[in-house]
Structure 1
Amino acid sequence: MSKLTKDKITESDYESKLRLLQIELVKLQNSLISNQDQILVILEGRDTAGKDGSIKAITEHLSPRETRVVALSKPTEAESNEWYFQRYVAELPKKGEFVLFNRSWYNRAGVERVMGFCTSEEYRTFIETVNDFEAMLKKSGIILMKYYLDISKKEQAARLEARAKDPLKQWKISPVDEQAQKKWSAYSKCRNDMFLTTSTSMTPWTIVRANDKKLAHLNLIRNLLSRVSYPKKNKDLLKADKSIVFEWNGKISDLEK
């Protein structure tokens, strides 16, 4: 994805639009709790693409009792010998819960594959089983949405440099981040393979062009809200920019725009 988003948004305009969307998110959560539904949002993407900021924008005014953010660390030796999905199953939303995965089981299709943290056989097993696994989740009643935040190589380089200079963001720096630019092409190939094999009619991938963080936040939330039912929905607020957020359509060329 090389083309930068041209349209910018002022801070005040962003804050006012975000507030209205966050009110819609509260409406959604009230309905979720009342109906005892379950929502699972998976956020994947390039390093520095803005997953943390997107999650903060979504959860800022939601009830902490019924909202969980899951960001699992490296598996322990015991977990590495378990069924791959086992530790994620323990984090699935309970009735009335809104759960966001900051990275997910798709680590196996991305960073683990690129960095050699899994074997070819482990990767193949994952690809052969993940669609059936997600279909089971959907059939059990879980509302599952998968988002991939993408940025340009130039934008990632700028964000990595800014992160390295910011003493408040030192905790975000990892050896994997340091390889993001060097292994850019490898990550692109794994991303494309992941979309081709795991974007199904039941659990499609939605791509968010995130060079502009503010526009990414607003349009991701609009898309999310437009895909679920809840009372008193203000549909006029939920018209997402399709040049920023769009469902994967099988065309790799569209990822590079």
Structure 2
Amino acid sequence: MGNNGEPRRMPRKIYQTELLRLQNELVKMQAWVRAENVRVVVVFEGRDAAGKGGAIRRVSQFLNPRFARTAALPTPTQREESQWFFQRYIEHLPAGGEMVLFDRSWYNRAGVEHVMGFCTDDEYRRFLRQCPVFERLLVEDGILLRKYWFSVSDEEQARRFRSRADDPMRSWKLSPMDLESVTRWEDYSRAKDAMFAHTDIPEAPWYVVEADDKRTARINMIAHLLSTVPYQDISAPRLKLPERPPSRGYERPSRDTQTYVPDHAASLTT
């Protein structure tokens, strides 16, 4: 910890340099995924305020969003509640050449739903039995499945909650459910331990990311993901911009015929 109680952070310059290098590799990985028609699923789980969202944004920042999307499912509808539990997640699985990043996933049932009583004990136990089978089916069908658990200390989580509460730009990230997690820290710890005991399987192991320092967590997670995917550099041909052809007499309509947004930027410099 630093003098202000915050965890020691990776120096910003080192972080930014390495992050950009890794993001360049992610672009290469996506090109390989597209060329080879590979399907990739990355699950991001962890404590509230553990930094999952920030990691997802850094992973996807320079990727083609048509083929790399984030799945952050809302509360299930009444119809979805009547379905097989995994059914709503299956709809979001990738086709060939696509990557899907799950910002929380089917593991909601083993975490918040179980701890907060949003599912029955029978539904919870059924999930623990079925989840390894479900994931083995995904892997057997050729999907590259990677599961990351972002681990944060109770002190750091509390510090991040306080920071969110004091910041009007981020206060939306602090929900009553987040506050409930403070008083149920040990309940969530037991739920996580049970989840790992049942679902940390050889075909789809859990990878724990120490996340008290967000910069370090992002670098470590992205580097690990790249190391587990056997991608190759697929060199795309360089595109050459064509010469603009000579004008054929086109004249732009008068500006008076169109409605422009006010020049707010100009008011800031006068």
Same fold per TM (> 0.5)? Answer: yes
| CA distance in structure 2 between the aligned counterparts of 1:132 and 1:179, rounded to whole angstroms | 31
| CA distance in structure 2 between the aligned counterparts of 1:94 and 1:176, rounded to whole angstroms | 33
Instruction: Label 1:6 to 1:51 Cα distance change in 2 as closer, same or farther (>3 A).
Output: closer
Shift of 1:8: 3.2
Match of 2:65 in 1: 64
Secondary structure of 1:191 counterpart: helix
- 1:89 has 2:85 as partner: no
**AA at the equivalent of 1:91:** H
| CA distance in structure 1 between the aligned counterparts of 2:70 and 2:201, rounded to whole angstroms | 25
| Structure having the higher Rg | 2
| CA distance in structure 2 between the aligned counterparts of 1:197 and 1:167, rounded to whole angstroms | 40
Match of 1:146 in 2: 147
Deviations 1:14-60 (A, max 9, x none): 11110000010001000000001000000000000001100011010
Kept in 1, the 8 Å contact 2:50–2:212? The answer is: yes
Match of 1:183 in 2: 184
Q: TM-score, normalised by structure 2?
A: 0.83
Match of 1:12 in 2: 13
- 1:220 has 2:218 as partner: no
| CA distance in structure 1 between the aligned counterparts of 2:200 and 2:192, rounded to whole angstroms | 11
**AA at the equivalent of 1:19:** L
Deviations 1:140-176 (A, max 9, x none): 1110000000100000000011111111112212221
Match of 2:77 in 1: 76
| CA distance in structure 1 between the aligned counterparts of 2:29 and 2:84, rounded to whole angstroms | 33
How many residue pairs get aligned? The number is 230
| CA distance in structure 2 between the aligned counterparts of 1:91 and 1:65, rounded to whole angstroms | 14
Give unmatched runs, 5+ long, in structure 1. 234-257
**AA at the equivalent of 1:175:** P
Instruction: Label 1:158 to 1:7 Cα distance change in 2 as closer, same or farther (>3 A).
Output: closer
| CA distance in structure 1 between the aligned counterparts of 2:182 and 2:195, rounded to whole angstroms | 19
Counterparts of 1:1-257 in structure 2, within 5 Å, are 8-232=9-233
Shift of 1:81: 0.9
Secondary structure of 1:167 counterpart: coil
Shift of 1:5: 10
**AA at the equivalent of 1:151:** V
| CA distance in structure 2 between the aligned counterparts of 1:172 and 1:84, rounded to whole angstroms | 26
Shift of 1:13: 1.3
| CA distance in structure 2 between the aligned counterparts of 1:158 and 1:7, rounded to whole angstroms | 14
| CA distance in structure 2 between the aligned counterparts of 1:215 and 1:84, rounded to whole angstroms | 34
Deviations 1:195-233 (A, max 9, x none): 111000001000001000000000000110000111149
Give unmatched runs, 5+ long, in structure 2. 235-270
Shift of 1:12: 1.4
| CA distance in structure 2 between the aligned counterparts of 1:8 and 1:101, rounded to whole angstroms | 26
| CA distance in structure 1 between the aligned counterparts of 2:44 and 2:103, rounded to whole angstroms | 5
Computed over aligned residues only, the root mean square deviation of the Cα atoms, in angstroms, reads 1.5
